[in-house]
Amino acid sequence: MNDGRSRVLAEIRKSLGRAGPGGEAIVPLPAAGPRPAFDGDPVERFVAKMLEKSATVVRIESLAEVSEAVTDYVASIGANRRLCVSKALAAIAWPPGFEIAHRAAVREDETSVTPCFAAVAESGSIVTLSGPDTPSTLNFVPENHIVIVHGSRVVPHFEDVWTLWRASDRPMPRSVNIISGPSRTADIEQTIQLGAHGPRRLHVLLLAD
Contact 95, 67 (CB under 8 A): yes
- Closest by Cα among 49, 58, 53 to 181: 53
Contact 114, 89 (CB under 8 A): yes
Q: Which stretch binds other proteins (CB under 8 A): 21-29, 40-48, 57-65, 108-116?
A: 21-29
Minimum CB distance to other proteins, residue 54 (Å): 9
Residue 93 vs 188, nearer CB to other proteins: 188
What is each CA distance from 5 to 21, 23, 25, in whole angstroms? 13, 15, 20
Q: Rule CB under 8 A: is residue 170 a binding residue for other proteins?
A: no
Q: Rule CB under 8 A: is residue 56 a binding residue for other proteins?
A: no
Binding to other proteins (CB under 8 A): which residues in 176-195?
176-191, 193, 195
Q: Rule CB under 8 A: is residue 77 a binding residue for other proteins?
A: no
Of the candidate residues 15, 19, 93, 169, the single one contacting other proteins (CB under 8 A)? 15
Binding to other proteins (CB under 8 A): which residues in 109-168?
123-125, 130-132, 135-137, 139-141, 157-159, 162
Q: Are strands 118-120 and 125-129 parallel, antiparallel or unpaired?
A: antiparallel
What is each CA distance from 13 to 10, 86, 159, in whole angstroms? 5, 47, 32
